[in-house]
């Protein structure tokens, strides 16, 4: 199974790249993990229109394979404990399809992206900066793998 993160926003602070790299560097080789980024569509300072979000949604949909399992990181999604995520990861691996996590742009994602998603997952009820969501996702995937494999990283 290949796992990738598709994220809107191609420039992150160095601490995000560093922390993200620490966790993804620990992933098992068979995941063949990949980060794909795309720049956010330009918005005017006070632009609250859906046009940018719809444009980003079209770009996201175009980058998704029809056979991929898509997990959208979204505040409206279901929250999971670390153990529940490990169990879900086992289910996803058993399914046999490649897995793609999606982080949308600053205004969220279009309805078309929500409809394409196989599952919506909320990392927290807190509003997180996109970079923090990347780091949290990478750490929780590593934790889920460590739970699956009996690795001592997860101590609870």
Closest listed residue to residue 68, CA positions, set 10, 122, 5: 5
**pLDDT category of residue 155 using cuts at 50, 70 and 90:** low
Domain 3-40+50-149 class? alpha beta
Q: Is residue 135 scored above 80 in pLDDT? A: yes
What pLDDT does residue 111 have? Answer: 95
What pLDDT does residue 154 have? Answer: 62
Q: Is residue 18 scored above 90 in pLDDT? A: yes
Q: What per-residue string of b and e applies to 43-62 under the rule 16 or more CB within 10 Å gives b?
A: eeeeeeeeebbbebbebbbe
Q: What is the pTM of this model?
A: 0.92
Q: Please state the domain extents for the chain.
A: 3-40+50-149
What pLDDT does residue 156 have? Answer: 56
| High-pLDDT (> 90) share of the chain, % | 74
What pLDDT does residue 81 have? Answer: 93
- pLDDT tens per residue, range 49-108: 688 889 999 999 999 999 999 999 999 999 999 999 999 999 998 998 999 999 999 888
Q: Is residue 130 scored above 60 in pLDDT? A: yes
């Amino acid at each position: 199974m290949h796992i990738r993160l598709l994220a809107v926003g191609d420039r992150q602070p160095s601490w995000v790249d560093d922390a993200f790299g620490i966790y993804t560097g620990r992933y098992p080789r068979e995941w063949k993990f990949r980060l794909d980024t795309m720049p956010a569509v330009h918005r005017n300072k006070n632009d609250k229109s859906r046009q940018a979000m719809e444009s980003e949604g079209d770009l996201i949909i175009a980058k998704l394979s029809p056979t991929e399992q898509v997990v959208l990181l979204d505040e409206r999604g279901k929250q999971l404990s670390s153990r529940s995520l490990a169990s879900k990861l086992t289910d996803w691996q058993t399914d046999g399809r490649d897995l793609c996590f999606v982080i949308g742009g600053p205004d969220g994602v279009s309805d078309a992206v929500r409809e394409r998603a196989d599952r919506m997952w909320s990392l927290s009820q807190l509003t997180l900066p996109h970079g923090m969501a990347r780091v949290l996702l990478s750490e929780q995937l590593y934790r889920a793998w460590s739970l699956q494999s009996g690795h001592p990283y997860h101590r609870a």
